[in-house]
Chains A and B, each alone.
Chain A
Amino acid sequence: MLKQFCDWLVSTPASEAIQNTFWMIPLIQSVHIVSIAITVSAVTLLHFRLLGLTGRDQSVPETARRYLPWIWTAVAILACSGLLLIVAEPPRELENPMFWTKMTLLLCALIFTALFQVMLKRDGFWERNRALSALIGIVSLLLWTGVVVAGRWIAYVVHS
């Protein structure tokens, strides 16, 4: 089923167009990496603020308002460029266990970030729940780091 889907996708004109232009994949990957740079930096600075380790001249809600729009915008670009990379080489991702590990970690990271954003709307939440906010900060940071690590390893796990 998945194999048939990959076979079909790889023969579509869109896939062939990307495959036949030698610089398209590195170009899309470069857009992907620049967007990762934005996400990773915003996530790291936001979560270190949550842990009280950096940028304490701004409150947690202020820091979140500053970085969250960048995170969501970059994630949208990552989704688009990632989708193009799947279209270009379907088996490389879809038949690769490391890709699905990455998607699982990504789903968890997105849920945590959305959860964090919802809780942000409650006034004084962070001041009252320091231990919880620290926990969310650490888990979320680990999840996002895991997404990047798994992403890089897609290239090294030979697909079936």
Chain B
Amino acid sequence: MNLHNLLSQLEAAPFARAIRESTWLFPTIETVHVLFLTLTVGSILIVDLRLLNLASRNRPVKDLTAQLLPWTWTSFIIAAVTGSLLFSSAATRYAQLWPFQAKMAGLALAGLNMAVFHLGAYRGVDEWNRPPAAPPAAARIAGGLSVAIWVTMIGLGRWIGFL
């Protein structure tokens, strides 16, 4: 079975049809999506700015991540589920839009960036956990890339709505 058939089946699912045909379901799910994506990106930015040594400089990195990661993951899961529901309502159409494709590529890049950071620079976090030690170059690059990727993803997501 090819991707197009799979997406057509998704689109034909009762919940996808309900979202497509209802006047209020799509905007309601989209509102929840926006609320939780702002929490996802905001909590990620706080950590990124710490890695870039631009904010929260008086706080140990590990304390900051311990406080914020539950927020990031919880809101990310809600944003992903609501985003998937929105996608299902017109799956074959969205899949062909370049901003949607780019946004998904951004998501993959963000994941890759995070994996590289955790397996690399973050292993030595104890050496730069506490101020005044500054995060090493690898951590700053990971933080900068993360800011760029997530902000771009917001722009791409907004662009999908215009096509």
Contacts and interface: CB of A to CB of B under 8 A. Distances in A.
Interface size classification for chain B: 20 to 34
Contact of B34 (A30, A57, A152): A152
A51 to B, nearest CB: 14
Interface in A5-49: 25-27, 29-30, 33-34, 36-38, 40-42, 44-45
Nearest to A33: B154
Given A26-B162, A37-B45, A44 B27 contact: no
A78 to B, nearest CB: 12
A153 interface: yes
A27 B162 CA distance: 11
B117 interface: no
A40 B39 contact: yes
Interface in B29-57: 30-31, 34-35, 37-39, 41-43, 45-46, 56
Nearest to A23: B159
Contacts of A26: 155, 158-159, 161-162
A40 B35 contact: yes
Interface in B50-83: 56, 63, 67, 71
B105 interface: no
> What DSSP secondary structure best describes chain A's contact surface?
helix
Contacts of B133: none
B42 A152 contact: no
A98 B143 CA distance: 37
Interface residues of A, number: 26
Contact of A38 (B37, B45, B56): B45
A156 B27 contact: yes
A148 B38 CA distance: 10
Given A40-B42, A57-B63, A29 B158 contact: yes
Given A26-B162, A40-B35, A54-B67, A153 B27 contact: yes
B138 to A, nearest CB: 25
A30 B155 contact: yes
Nearest to A32: B158
B83 to A, nearest CB: 14
A57 B159 CA distance: 40
Contacts of A30: 151, 154-155, 158
A33 B158 contact: yes
B42 A42 contact: yes
Identify the interface centre among A29, A36, A40, A153: most chain B CB within 10 Å of its CB.
Answer: A40
A37 B158 contact: no
Given A33-B34, A66-B56, A44 B39 contact: yes
A37 B41 contact: yes
B31 A37 contact: no
Contact of A148 (B35, B41, B46): B35
18 contacts: A26-B158, A26-B159, A30-B158, A34-B154, A37-B39, A40-B35, A41-B46, A41-B71, A44-B42, A45-B43, A54-B71, A57-B63, A57-B67, A148-B34, A148-B35, A152-B34, A155-B27, A156-B27
